[in-house]
Amino acid sequence: MGRLIAIIGIWIAGFSLGFIGYLAYPGLSQMAVSVIPSLISLDSQIVGAMVAGMASSFVTVLAVSIWAYSSRPTNSL
């Protein structure tokens, strides 16, 4: 039951951050274009997908790392 709750938590965290990243896309894309001018030549949907994907991947890696650390046996080296 604990792993199921952890998987659901990871899914909710990843979805939430991807959703927020998509909503924040206009501001983030303007910032990214000002920092990296070569992004101007890319389609705006590609840039939006990159922003949402990066945000979701960071949350997923963080959540899985925390889960792996907290679920390991306490008597292991």
CA–CA distance, 77 with 63 (Å, rounded to integer): 22
- pTM passes above 0.85: no
Q: How sure is the predictor about 35, in pLDDT bands with cuts at 50, 70 and 90?
A: confident
Long-range contacts formed by 63-69: CB under 8 A, 24+ apart: 63/9, 63/10, 63/13, 63/14, 64/10, 67/6, 67/10
Going by pLDDT thresholds of 50, 70 and 90, the confidence category of residue 40 is: low
From CA 45, how far away is CA 43, in angstroms rounded? 5
Instruction: Give the pLDDT confidence score for residue 18 in this predicted structure.
Output: 75
Residues for the chain: how many in total? 77
Tell me: pLDDT of 76 over 60. Answer: no
Q: Which of 50, 42, 41 is nearest to 22 (CA)?
A: 50
